[in-house]
Every structure is written in structure tokens, then in C-alpha cells.
Structure 1
Amino acid sequence: MAEWFRRTVVETGRLPLFCFFAGVIVGFLFIRFSVRMIRAQVKWWPGNVTPGGGMHIHHVVFGVVFMLLAGVLSFVVPDERTVWRSVLAGLFGVGAALVLDEFALILHLEDVYWSEKGRTSIDAVFVAISVTGLLVLGVRPVGIEDLVQAGIVGGGLLGYSLAAAVALTYLGLAATTLLKGKIWTGLLGLFIPVLLFVGAIRLARPHSPWARWRYQEPDPRTAAKLAKAKWREVQLRRPAIKTKIWLQELVAGHHDAPPER
């Protein structure tokens, strides 16, 4: 394991990235443990940060401070100081975890942390961990240089033009997949291109922008597509979503608070 870590992470210069990855995971697990202790009103746990006046300081504030501190200091530390750059990357990862854990609060501009809308924050953290994990392992989004180096297209102006066309095609497929409501498929497809073809060809989710634009026409064919998309959502996707929610709440707690009016 140590040899794999040295070859895959240290020797490739990805140690700061790994520390950022570890910082996101550690920061997310710690803050979720903290908020669950606070919600359960455990007496020995410190509780919320509430200075004079009863104002509750959300942990997204501390996340922003950590990210700014680590980001500014990273410009000061020379590139050859790998250890210090890795420490700052870890601190930046902790700050990013605190910010993403309250992503739903930023998105809706209201405290929806324990409500149904609050699950958006968990999705954001899971996406960040997944994408960063792929980068740590050396999996990169397909770019022009990658296509040329892989020999898919030749060098020179013509080769780079073809590579650019292929890369733009991938981006178009990714945009189509995301518009069809398939967030995970679209993001992971940037690293595994075959997923983009699958996501772009298959039917859109019934409440996605693509479905609103393409499946609402008074035409038997589009009506059949919408009906099939709704059937897939209920029969196939909903059980998968329930499994995902079960896993999220196992880690992050139950998001069952009624929405504030």
C-alpha cells in the first residue's frame, strides 16, 4: 500500500491534491458528527457558536475563512515546499467541506439544513469527493492534449483541430446529459466518455429542463416519451434514489425537518 501511494500520489506530484481530498472527507465527517451531536442535544458536546445577541454563526462562515486563509498562503509558499503546500491544501479541503455542507443554505438563502432541500448539500459533497478521488487516482477529463498523446488524432494544426472538435463533442454530450437531469452521469462522463454517449441517448428525467423543452409538445410520440420517462422514474430510478438517501442519512443524519413557512 505504501509503495502504491508513493508511486501514484507522491512521485506524480499529487500529494497536495490528496491532502485536499482527505481534508474534504475529514471535514465533512467531523462537521456532520458535530451537527448530529448538537441536534441530539448531547450535553458534553460544545454546541453551536452563538456570540452575544443569540446570533447563530453557521459553519459555512468558518469554511470561507479556512479557504481564504489557505488560498492566500498558497500563493506565498514556494512550489518546491511540497509539505507546506500539502498542509494548506488539506486546510482548503476542510474549508471546502464546511462550505459544501451548507451548499443548500447558500442556494436557497434560507436554513434548510435538516429539511428535504438540505440533501442538496450531501449531493454536492459526494460529487466533490468522487471527482477529486478520480483526479487523485490520475483519471483526468478528456482534453485536447490527451487525444493527441493517445494517438487518436495526429499532431500539427489538423490534428489539434480534430482533437478540439472531439473535445467539443464531449462537452456537448456532457451538456445534453446534464440538461436531461443526469448529474452524476454527466460529471463522471467527463472522465469516462462512454457514459456521455449513454446519458445523451437515453430518455431525459421527466422534470428535467430537456423534458420541459422537448416532451411537452402535443404529439403522440413526445407524449409516449414523457410517459416512458415517468415510468422509469417511478419503477427504476426511485428505488435507486431511496438507496442513495438511505446511505446519505446513514452518514449525515435524517433530513426530516418540516420546511419553514
Structure 2
Amino acid sequence: MTVRQDAVEVNVVVTAPNHGIGLWMLGAFVVTFVVTRVVTRLIRAGRGPFRNVEVGGTHVHHQVYGIMAMVVAGAVEFSYRPGTPGAQILAVLFGAGAALTLDEFALWLHLKDVYWASEGRKSVDAAFLAAAVGLLLVAGFNPFADTGGGTADHLAFAIGLLINLALCLGAILKGKTALGVIGLLVPFVALTACLRLAKPGSPWARWRYPPDGRKAERALRRFPPGRRTRLDALKDLVGGTPQR
């Protein structure tokens, strides 16, 4: 008995990330963030025609406009999937909205107006981190893309991915949020943070470093209160010096 099997050819189309759209979104994010910081610093100094927007005595923060822009861009994109130039317009709208929202990240984190306080520096940190992640995405970093192969290759890929995710979680728990997030796109970058001392006050330090222990003392010497780096000078230049 002869069994005949008909070969069926299946064409699989793999859609690569549209880095052109990502570049529009990243460009809109950076430009909007810089312009927003310039305007808010002018308002702070009492210079120029700009003033805070108030409706009925309530200060309307610019994160409100950012949230609305992202909601509109997301709804239109998911509903209609427009082509060129609609996709680029939505990317610009979403990037601008993300910049307006993250520029007040500290406000919705602390649930109070800390824009110019020391806690407000978290907004600049969030914007810098988002821009770095955007650059990596535009450059094509994608550690979640399985290159294929046999069962052994898939298993090795899954194990490597789980290890990298665990390292990213460890970096975040040690207070190294930037390395933890970037490590999601660049494999094993978070390993550096996992091998080094945790920052005082981080979950790892609270769990693993006794208050009177050597590691807690070393961490406090490594990250003293008010510690400043060269990156902090850049943040002051871009975002303005917070109130001390």
C-alpha cells in the first residue's frame, strides 16, 4: 500500500518592527520634552508670555493633555490601523503625549505637586530612561525574538530569557531601575547591577542588609545622601535645578 502525502507550501510573513514609525515617535518625544521644560522654566522665572493654565481655580497640569493625546492616538491606531501619513501622525501624537505625561511622572507617583521639589527629579529620570529605551528600540534591539531552530534551540532561548528577566528584576530590587529596564532590551546588562551593592532604601537593602551590618554601611558610603554625578549636572541643565 502506497501512502501519498501532498506537500503543502506555507508562506510565513514575518513583520519586522517599523523603525521609521519609532523614529517619528522618539523625535516627537524628545522635542516635546525639551520644549515643555523650556516653557515651565520660563513660567518659574516669571519670564515670557507663558502662564499656568487654570480652570475654575484648578491648575490643569500638562500631563492631562499628554494622557488625552496618548488615549486618542492609541484608540485611532487600534481601531483604524492607518497607513502613511496617518501612522506617522499618530506616532508623533503618541510621542508628544508620552513626553507631557512623563514630564510630570513624579506628580502622579507622589500624588502631589512636587514638580520643582527634589522628588520632582524623578520626572527627568523617567524621561531620560524612556528616551534611552526608545533609542534601543529604534536601533532594533529585541531580545524577545526567537531565531528559530530545533527544540534544543527553543529551550536554550527560553532559559536565557528567563535568566535575563530574573537579572532585570534583581537590578530593580537593588535600586538600579535604569539598568533593569535597559536590560530588558540588551541581554545581561542588568548583571552588573546584580553583582554590585544595592542602594540604601531599596527593597534588596531592606531585606538583606541589617541596619548595623557592614553591607549597609558600605552602601551608605557608596550612595551618601545628596550624592551627585555628572549625569545630575546634565539633568539640571535640561530640567532645571530643583528646590533644595
TM (normalized to structure 2)?
0.86
In structure 2, the partner of 1:123 is: 125
In structure 2, the partner of 1:143 is: 144
Structure 1 alignment gaps of length 5 or more: 1-10, 150-154
Q: Deviations over 1:108-155 (max 9, x none)?
A: 111111101111111111110000011111122x2250xx45xxxxx2
In structure 1, the partner of 2:75 is: 72
Q: Deviations over 1:172-209 (max 9, x none)?
A: 11111111111122222223334222221222122211
Indicate if the aligned counterparts of 2:42 and 2:50 stay in contact, CA closer than 8 A: no
Equivalent in 211, 215, 219 of residue 225 of structure 1: 215
The DSSP-based 3-state class of the residue aligned with 1:172 is helix
In structure 2, the partner of 1:14 is: 19
In structure 2, the partner of 1:238 is: 227
Give the letter for the 2:232 counterpart.
I
Give the letter for the 1:252 counterpart.
G
Indicate if the aligned counterparts of 1:174 and 1:187 stay in contact, CA closer than 8 A: yes
- Residue 230 of structure 1 deviates from its aligned partner by 2.0
Q: Does 1:49 align with 2:43?
A: no
Q: Does 1:208 align with 2:202?
A: yes
- Residue 249 of structure 1 deviates from its aligned partner by 1.4
Equivalent in 60, 65, 71 of residue 62 of structure 1: 65
Tell me the distance in 2 between the aligned counterparts of 1:54 and 1:12.
Answer: 45
In structure 2, the partner of 1:199 is: 193
Q: Deviations over 1:157-183 (max 9, x none)?
A: 332122111110110111111111111
Give the letter for the 1:88 counterpart.
L
- Residue 22 of structure 1 deviates from its aligned partner by 0.8
Give the letter for the 2:139 counterpart.
L
Give the letter for the 1:208 counterpart.
S
RMSD: 2.2
TM (normalized to structure 1)?
0.80
Tell me the distance in 2 between the aligned counterparts of 1:186 and 1:12.
Answer: 23
Indicate if the aligned counterparts of 1:16 and 1:87 stay in contact, CA closer than 8 A: no
Tell me the distance in 2 between the aligned counterparts of 1:202 and 1:75.
Answer: 42
Structure 2 alignment gaps of length 5 or more: 1-15
Indicate if the aligned counterparts of 1:144 and 1:160 stay in contact, CA closer than 8 A: no
* Counterparts in 2 of 1:251 and 1:217: CA distance versus 1, 3 Å: closer
- Residue 78 of structure 1 deviates from its aligned partner by 3.6
Higher helix share: 1
Q: Does 1:28 align with 2:33?
A: yes
Tell me the distance in 1 between the aligned counterparts of 2:205 and 2:117.
Answer: 27
Tell me the distance in 2 between the aligned counterparts of 1:60 and 1:167.
Answer: 35
Quick check: which has more Rg, 1 or 2?
A: 2
Indicate if the aligned counterparts of 2:167 and 2:188 stay in contact, CA closer than 8 A: no
Tell me the distance in 1 between the aligned counterparts of 2:60 and 2:228.
Answer: 37
Indicate if the aligned counterparts of 2:164 and 2:188 stay in contact, CA closer than 8 A: no
Same amino acid, percent of matched pairs: 39
